[in-house]
Amino acid sequence: MKFSVKAEYGLRAMIELALLNGNGPIGAKEIASRKGIPERFLEQQLTVLKKAGLVSSQRGASGGCSLAKDAAKISVLEVIEALDGPVINMDCLTIKENGCSQDSCCVVQELWHQSQVRLKDFLSGVSVDDLAKRHGELQGQKSLMYYI
């Protein structure tokens, strides 16, 4: 299983928005600069996240983006599926016409389905807030290393 660069950059942007929450809207240029993301590419991802109801935006000189809801209520699964579509999209699970001839007794199909359920459960149990807190912990550890 491999997640796209869109999902990775989208999650990075969402973490940055969570960390800066309460400081007003943040411009895509600033987020891109802070996170090392190409600005044009990030703008596209932010547009998708806005359409999904995860990001809100404000135009004007003091405009930018902010989270559309509390970071603790935005799951990693929501972000990934907004940007990439279903987390696991196996043809044998989704295509019913002209599908697999083993459909009713396929242990491989059963395996794919079980792995999809477990992965979706895991990703839906992790919030953007969880990632932002962990990011803060890692940054704190990094700064402590300079004193050792």
The stretches in the chain having pLDDT less than 50 are 145, 147-148
CATH of the domain at 96: 1.10.10.10
- Bridge partner residues of 67 (DSSP): 55
Q: What is the pLDDT of residue 2?
A: 73
Q: What is the pLDDT of residue 92?
A: 57
Q: What is the pLDDT of residue 69?
A: 94
Q: What is the pLDDT of residue 148?
A: 43
Q: What is the pLDDT of residue 126?
A: 95
Q: What is the pLDDT of residue 107?
A: 84
Q: What is the pLDDT of residue 63?
A: 81
| Owning domain of residue 121 | 5-145
Total structural domains within the chain: 1
Q: What is the pLDDT of residue 61?
A: 75
Alpha helices in the chain (DSSP H): 5-19, 28-35, 39-51, 76-84, 91-94, 107-124, 128-145
Give the span between the Cα atoms of 105 and 115, in whole angstroms. Answer: 17
- Give 6: exposed, middle or buried? Use CB within 10 Å, 0-12, 13-18, 19+: middle
